[in-house]
Structure 1
Amino acid sequence: MSRYELKPRPGNGVIKAVIGWDRPLQSFFAQVFTPTEDEPDEGEATIWLGTEPGELPTPEAAIRVVEAYADIPETLAASLAADRHATIGMVDGVHQTRAKLSLFGTRS
């Protein structure tokens, strides 16, 4: 799994945006955090995509989710693609397989 924290754009109420690759789900993920009264510095993920198998299949799909809220480094899509490429051939362990069966009713 990879995870990149992105610098939020000013003026949109966002305190953090995160993007990355989740190998067990075979999906990129994107999160946008806004402050809450209880956690003004950490906030909560008010946008969170990539929690279902294959939901965000490309780096560009994940970037589109966060690009309105955060600055996107020029190299981010290539870094995300490299993260995915580095996991080719990896298989789920016993616990990941059981979790997928429980959550999604599938092994893949």
Structure 2
Amino acid sequence: MSRYTITVHNNHRTDPDAVIGYDPPLRTFFLQAFPDESDDDLALWLGTADREYETLDALHAAALAHGYDFLPLPDDVAQQLAADQAREADRAPHGRPLDALLRHLQSK
């Protein structure tokens, strides 16, 4: 799993320590931002399901729909995310027993 620090903002605040990345087992890009200081919750956590956001454009559209933005990405981060996804393109999808359980739970 790749993880890169970026800045995410909405109309009221900015999180300069947000995380964007690619999750190979789920085959999705993800975005995490605005942690709750009292517990482990996040105000924004996208990309938790299998193939939920297969492109950065899809992830960006979802972030915008939730009232957040993360563009423009630094060039090096955007290039590395594309490389991370390309490197994992041939990975076998969910072959382990726990992966089957995850697929089952997500289908409900």
Structures share a fold, TM > 0.5?
A: yes
Q: Give the direction of change, closer, same or farther, for the CA distance of 1:74–1:99 in structure 2 (3 Å limit).
A: same
Q: Pairwise mapping of residues 1-108 of structure 1 onto structure 2 (< 5 A)?
A: 1-7=1-7, 12=13, 14=15, 16-36=17-37, 38=38, 44-64=41-61, 65=63, 68=69, 72-91=73-92, 97-105=96-104
How many percent of aligned residue pairs carry the same amino acid? 29
TM-score by length of 2: 0.69
Which shifted more, 63-72 or 17-26?
Answer: 63-72
Distance (Å, rounded) in 1 between the aligned partners of 2:49 and 2:70? 22
1:36-68, CA deviations, whole angstroms, 9 ceiling, x for partnerless residues?
Answer: 2x36xxx63111111100101102333452862
Distance (Å, rounded) in 2 between the aligned partners of 1:19 and 1:76? 9
Q: Give the direction of change, closer, same or farther, for the CA distance of 1:74–1:91 in structure 2 (3 Å limit).
A: same
Q: Give the direction of change, closer, same or farther, for the CA distance of 1:89–1:62 in structure 2 (3 Å limit).
A: same
Q: Give the direction of change, closer, same or farther, for the CA distance of 1:91–1:75 in structure 2 (3 Å limit).
A: same
* Number of residue pairs matched by the alignment: 100
Distance (Å, rounded) in 2 between the aligned partners of 1:61 and 1:15? 21
Please, which runs of 5 or more residues in structure 2 have no aligned partner? none
Please, which runs of 5 or more residues in structure 1 have no aligned partner? none
Distance (Å, rounded) in 1 between the aligned partners of 2:83 and 2:99? 24
Q: CA RMSD in A?
A: 3.1
Q: Runs of at least 4 residues of structure 1 off by over 4 A?
A: none
Q: Give the structure with the higher percent strand.
A: 2
Deviation at 1:80, TM superposition (A): 0.8
